Amino acid sequence: MTTADIQPLLSAYDDQMRGAPPTPPAGVTYEQDGPLLRTVGQFRGLVSGPRDLGVDGGALDELIARQRDFFAARGEAVEWKTRSHDTPADLTERLRAAGFVPEERETVLVGRAAEMALWQPAPPEGVTVRRVTADADMRRIAAMESAVWGEDWSWLADDLIGRVGTAPDDIAVYVAEADGEVVCAAWLVFRPGTGFASLWGGSTLAEWRGRGIYRALVAVRAALAVSRGVTYLHVDASDD
């Protein structure tokens, strides 16, 4: 893919996705502070903004400090999402100076939904894929995630239950099951008012990796996105 191919995708992402959060579940609110959007009430806070914050120097330091202090007063952890092409260019350094600590790097991937939906691989033998909405299934997903990551992911069940309950048309949750066990799960989050939907999840139990299960979940979500008129699919991917 050339720079000429990438730039339209990046521009669409910057113009449509940044500042256009998904429909929040019950108990989650969005608050504007200048150019920034704060997400409050999740398992941890989130700060996001446009590609160009429009402030620098001391004014930027004050803006950063307000977000840090806001969530500190609530006793909540917070993630500030930055991208490598953001301006001002010293944003990351100023965040570090204010006490923010970088997490592992992620890469923003954007693709055309219609192209991704062309390939429809079947899951491996013995594995079935289905869409779920029941609270019990969300708890099964959280238990699978806890097993994959070796830490408590029970918060995810509450998050998914809240999203499905608040805006069922804006999220589609899928599980891949073998002998009644959830071996992989992933969900598609629509962004009303944009041409995007976001791919989330995808964790797979170790013994089931490398068998094409995640590819099957991408395909079924891409097909749904196309049926809903979505142009682009987006995911924040780890280096793994």
Per DSSP (E only), the strands in the chain are: 29-33, 36-40, 45-48, 78-80, 106-112, 128-132, 171-178, 181-190, 196-204, 232-238
Same domain, 224 and 125: yes
Assign residue 199 the CATH number of its domain.
3.40.630.30
Same domain, 17 and 92: yes
What is the percent of the chain where pLDDT is above 70? 98
Domain boundary pick from 70, 103, 136:
103
- Residue-by-residue DSSP string for 65-80: HHHHHHHHHHT--EEE
Q: Residues 14-36: what's their mean pLDDT?
A: 90
CA distance 226 to 47: 30
Same domain, 193 and 85: no
CA distance 174 to 132: 6
Domain boundary pick from 77, 103, 129:
103
| Contacts (Cβ under 8 Å, ≥6 apart) of 180 | none
Bond from prior residue into 24 cis (ω within 30 degrees of 0): no
Question: What phi, psi does 179 have (nearest 5°)?
Answer: 50, 40
Residue 2 has pLDDT above 70, yes or no: no
Same domain, 200 and 233: yes
Same domain, 172 and 127: yes
What pLDDT score does 1 carry? 61
94-134: pLDDT as tens digits? 999 999 999 999 999 999 999 999 988 999 999 999 999 99
Residue 240 has pLDDT above 70, yes or no: no
**Residue 232 burial (10 A CB sphere; 0-12, 13-18, 19+):** buried
Same domain, 128 and 95: no
Residue 205 to residues 127, 150, 183, Cα–Cα distance (Å): 13, 11, 5
- Judge whether 179 and 208 are in contact, CB under 8 Å: no
Residue 19 has pLDDT above 80, yes or no: no
Pairing relationship of beta strands 45-48 and 181-190 according to DSSP bridges: unpaired
Number of domains in the chain: 2
- Judge whether 170 and 163 are in contact, CB under 8 Å: yes
Q: Residues 169-173: what's their mean pLDDT?
A: 97
Same domain, 80 and 125: no
Question: What phi, psi does 88 have (nearest 5°)?
Answer: -70, 155
CA distance 208 to 13: 32
Model pTM score: 0.88
197-222: pLDDT as tens digits? 999 999 999 999 999 999 999 999 99
What pLDDT score does 97 carry? 98
* Domain span holding position 37: 3-103
Same domain, 159 and 233: yes
Categorise residue 77: left if φ over 0, alpha if ψ from -120 to 50, beta otherwise.
Answer: beta
Domain boundary pick from 84, 103, 122:
103
71-97: pLDDT as tens digits? 999 999 999 999 999 999 999 999 999
CA distance 105 to 237: 9
**What value does the mean pLDDT of the chain take?**
94
CA angle 94, 29, 101 (to 5 degrees): 25
Same domain, 97 and 157: no
In this prediction, residue 157 has a pLDDT band, given cuts at 50, 70 and 90, of: very high
Q: Residues 144-168: what's their mean pLDDT?
A: 96
Same domain, 99 and 58: yes
What pLDDT score does 6 carry? 84
Residue 5 has pLDDT above 90, yes or no: no
Residue 70 has pLDDT above 90, yes or no: yes
Same domain, 118 and 33: no
- Judge whether 98 and 64 are in contact, CB under 8 Å: yes
Q: Residues 162-191: what's their mean pLDDT?
A: 97
Same domain, 46 and 80: yes
Q: Residues 44-63: what's their mean pLDDT?
A: 96
What pLDDT score does 20 carry? 76
